[in-house]
Amino acid sequence: MKKNFSKAIVLAISFFCASSSLSAQDAVTPYLTTDELPNLIKCLPPPPAFNSPEFANDVVRYQWGKTQRLNPERAAIAQRDAIWSFENLFAEFNIPFGLTISREDTPEIWKLLETSLTTTDQMRVEPKAFYKRLRPFEMYDEHLLSPDTESDVRGEGSYPSGHTSRGWTTALLLAEINPANADTIFARGWMYGESRVIEGAHWQSDVDASRVGASIGYAALHTSPAFLEQLAKAQQEFLEKTGQLSAIRPVPAVPAASGNNRVYRIDGTPAGENARGLVIMNNKKVVVK
């Protein structure tokens, strides 16, 4: 009975977290349910023990993060990355992606990103509640780089990092839509995770595990037919918006009635002997005047 009650609580928290950034009219149905997604408690190792070399690295990286705050430009990026919203997250990828992403101008890309992240957001809830790891700023009783966000994250488990998971999943999605820009897309995705260390909101090991967890969730997305269908629409939209689609659409060529008629219009349909303009004749493009 207790186990079933605990699972009900986790599912309720999962639903709340997945829908918290959405208004009532924008409710999103995930591609996969929690039960259909891999369990990160089973997939990933637990957070490092206090006496481990991995935690020693966490401490060193926490101090490194505080030095990065002295760089105003990098600090500003980390503060932007701390905002928990799809709008802010996707905007950070506009330049590396090569196209401005918005609900109005790129609806198919937006739908893919929004629904995919709503799906994979579910994966972080149970391990956070299970491990209850203190965040760095809580352990050291210090402030975040963005102190106004402390009340939002205080008391919520540090392992894994939801922000990092969102950032890395977004990079994976956008790189599949525009593989030509994969290097810059992934570079920005990597920075998104580093921002959590600079903020003081997460340990380095939280971030490292979250990139792996995001990749696990991304693989699971590819088992959903609805996801694959929307991915194809997003890829098509990207090509259209960036002018990479040819104006010539492929259509089935209709065989000529006569064996001697080998003249076709540019769209592949029979042109006849009186054809004029650009045609295909004997498998070659020619201009008939």
Residue positions annotated with a catalytic role: 163, 196, 202, 206
Buried b (16+ CB within 10 A) or exposed e, 156-185: bbbbbbbbbbbbbbbbbbbbbbbeebbebb
Q: Provide CB contacts within 8 A for 229, sequence distance 6+.
A: none
| Total Cβ atoms within 10 A of residue 250 | 8
Please tell me the distance from the alpha carbon of residue 272 to that of residue 269, in angstroms, as a whole number: 9
What is the residue-wise DSSP string for 138-199? HHTT---SSGGGHHHHTTS--SS-HHHHHHHHHHHHHHHH-GGGHHHHHHHHHHHHHHHHHH
Contacts 24+ apart (CB under 8 A), 130-134: 130/41, 130/157, 131/46, 131/47, 131/157, 131/159, 132/157, 133/47, 133/157, 133/158, 133/159, 133/203, 133/206, 134/158
Query: What is the chain's alpha carbon radius of gyration, rounded to the nearest angstrom?
Result: 25
Six-digit token pair at 5? Answer: 């009650």
CB 213 within 8 A of CB 44: yes
Distances, alpha carbon 120 to alpha carbons 152, 194, 254, 275, in Å: 20, 20, 47, 56
Distances, alpha carbon 74 to alpha carbons 171, 194, 197, 200, 282, in Å: 19, 10, 12, 14, 61
